[in-house]
Amino acid sequence: MPRKSCTECGARSKLHVHHKDRNPANNSTENLVVLCASYHLKLHWHEDRSKRIGALMGQRYAAGKSALVAKPQPRSN
């Protein structure tokens, strides 16, 4: 087992085990990092945020594209 203190700040309470490969079934020592709750949440928050930003950019890009496609055609009558 990894040492019983947060790898980031050395806290010894509210410890979580973080799976580096995001696979909770992979419990090999190299895959586990001990983090305190706040560092663990922070880590995942940053990850989720970058994912969300990516998703937003994708949506914006898609919206821009569809806006171009949905450009109103000039009426001919």
Q: Nearer Cβ to Zn ion, position 2 or 8?
A: 8
In this structure, what token pair is assigned to residue 12?
């010894």
* Position among 2, 5, 8, 31 found at the interface with Zn ion (CB under 5 A): 8
Residue written as token pair 């109103």: 72
**Dist. CA 29–CA 32, nearest whole Å:** 5
The stretch among 7-15, 50-58, 59-67, 68-76 that binds Zn ion (CB under 5 A) is: 7-15
Residue carrying the six token digits 């940053």:
46
The only residue of 9, 37, 57, 63 in contact with Zn ion, by rule CB under 5 A: 9
11 binds Zn ion (CB under 5 A): yes
Question: Which of 40, 46, 47 is CA-nearest to residue 19?
Answer: 40
Chain contacts with Zn ion (rule: CB under 5 A): 6, 8-9, 11, 18, 36, 39
